[in-house]
Amino acid sequence: MSIGGLRQLKLPELRIGKLVAKVPVIQGGMAIRLSTAPLAAAVAREGGIGLIAASGMTVDELRNEIKLARSLTDGIIGINMMVAARSFAVMIKTAIEEGIDLVVAGAGFSRDMFALGKESGTPIVPIVSSAKLARISEVLGAAAVIVEGKEAGGHLGTDRSMRVIVPEVRAAVKIPVIGAGGVMNGKDIVEVIRLGGNGVQMGIRFAASEESNAGPALKEFYLKAKPEDVMLINSPVGLPGQAVRNPFAAKIADGTVAKPDTCDACLKHCSQSFCIIKALIRAQQGDVETGLVFTGENVHKIDKILSVKEIMATLVKEAEETINSIKASF
């Protein structure tokens, strides 16, 4: 019996190439340095896929993070990297050299990354926001696509809901489809699977976990956020970004944010309206006044800082309860 993607009326495994995640959850790679080895490893230990956020790191730092993650788990570890970063190709090559399990790429699109993945046999998973780009990705060699909607945190490529885009992408490609944006609980996971997804990516729920590398003040800031606090800002990357309203975000919105005195030329293209790397670092360190706090639009649903083990167990329990409820209605 099959009910909208739930063939055996249970939470399915997520298969990407030869990788098999027992729980169909990818922990989003949140930069700068929110998603480091302890968080990624904790998610991988619980059967999901853990991502290290490589953007903003040095080559040596990334190597050390991957090695640390490997020492903490034999589960699936990947990296997330911004295509917009100048160091994109170098960081992808570094991660592949270190034997990373998969590469997730967002904030832009690169055809070159698929060749790197093909040479090494490393699955390349681009973040897309349309069926057209998903089809192109499949042709170029993507192992899966993460379909990100307007509900997601950070840089956005669309103003449409993930729940609308996922069925369109499912109809367009044969590779695994992972829904991202606004996924907070097990019921959401089941909904995405019934829409045609093979799994989900979750960011903000894991940013507010014990293992997250976010400073204590930032985690508390997440807990206080209300629906009306979420806003869009114009990122110097050239994309809109979803963030929590604070004094810094307000200055970006009204055009009074201070331009950087110096520039490290870390992005391929940058408006230099402000230094996004330094703003994200300030937030990660707990400066919620002058830092840029990226978030998904459902951050208000988080009411407690939990361990990854608790979060993953709750997700599976909620998903199974939802599936059983669906089964009972037939």
Q: What is the pTM of this model?
A: 0.95
Examine residue 9 and state whether it is found in any structural domain, yes or no. no
The answer to whether residues 93 and 176 belong to one domain is yes
Q: How many structural domains comprise the chain?
A: 2
The answer to whether residues 165 and 307 belong to one domain is yes
Examine residue 116 and state whether it is found in any structural domain, yes or no. yes
The answer to whether residues 165 and 109 belong to one domain is yes
Examine residue 4 and state whether it is found in any structural domain, yes or no. no
Q: Give the residue from 284, 240, 235 showing the smallest Cα distance to 257.
A: 235
Examine residue 266 and state whether it is found in any structural domain, yes or no. yes
Examine residue 59 and state whether it is found in any structural domain, yes or no. yes
Examine residue 146 and state whether it is found in any structural domain, yes or no. yes
| 149, 162 contact by CB (below 8 A) | yes
The answer to whether residues 50 and 173 belong to one domain is yes
Helices (H), the chain: 37-45, 59-72, 88-97, 112-120, 131-140, 162-172, 186-194, 204-207, 216-224, 247-254, 276-284, 308-328
Examine residue 6 and state whether it is found in any structural domain, yes or no. no
SS3 215: coil
The answer to whether residues 58 and 102 belong to one domain is yes
Exposure on the CB side of residue 178, measured as CA atoms within 13 A = 29
- Give the pairing of strands 19-21 and 25-27: unpaired
Count of C-beta atoms within a 10 Å radius of residue 269: 10
The answer to whether residues 278 and 189 belong to one domain is no
Q: Give the residue from 201, 152, 193 showing the smallest Cα distance to 49.
A: 201
Token digits of residue 308: 């990854």
The answer to whether residues 178 and 149 belong to one domain is yes
Exposure on the CB side of residue 306, measured as CA atoms within 13 A = 15
The answer to whether residues 242 and 312 belong to one domain is no
Burial 49-85 (b: 16+ CB within 10 A, else e): bbbbbbbbbeeeebeebbebbbebbebbbbbbbbbbb
The answer to whether residues 26 and 164 belong to one domain is yes
Examine residue 50 and state whether it is found in any structural domain, yes or no. yes
The whole-number pLDDT of residue 9 equals 63
Task: Print pLDDT tens along the chain (330 aa).
Answer: 455 666 556 799 999 999 999 999 999 999 999 999 999 999 999 999 999 999 999 999 999 999 999 999 999 999 999 998 999 999 999 999 999 999 999 988 999 899 999 999 999 999 999 999 999 999 999 999 999 999 999 999 999 999 999 999 999 999 999 999 999 999 999 999 999 999 999 999 999 999 999 999 999 999 999 999 999 999 999 999 999 999 999 999 999 998 998 888 888 999 999 999 999 999 999 999 999 999 999 999 999 999 999 999 999 999 999 999 988 887
| 90, 101 contact by CB (below 8 A) | no
C-alpha 69/C-alpha 187 separation (Å) is 29
CATH code at position 91:
3.20.20.70
DSSP notation for 245-257: --HHHHHHHHT-P
Place of tokens 């409820």: 325
Domain assignment of residue 53, given as a range: 14-213+303-325
The answer to whether residues 97 and 173 belong to one domain is yes
The whole-number pLDDT of residue 4 equals 60
The whole-number pLDDT of residue 263 equals 86
The answer to whether residues 112 and 165 belong to one domain is yes
C-alpha 11/C-alpha 163 separation (Å) is 18
The answer to whether residues 196 and 232 belong to one domain is no
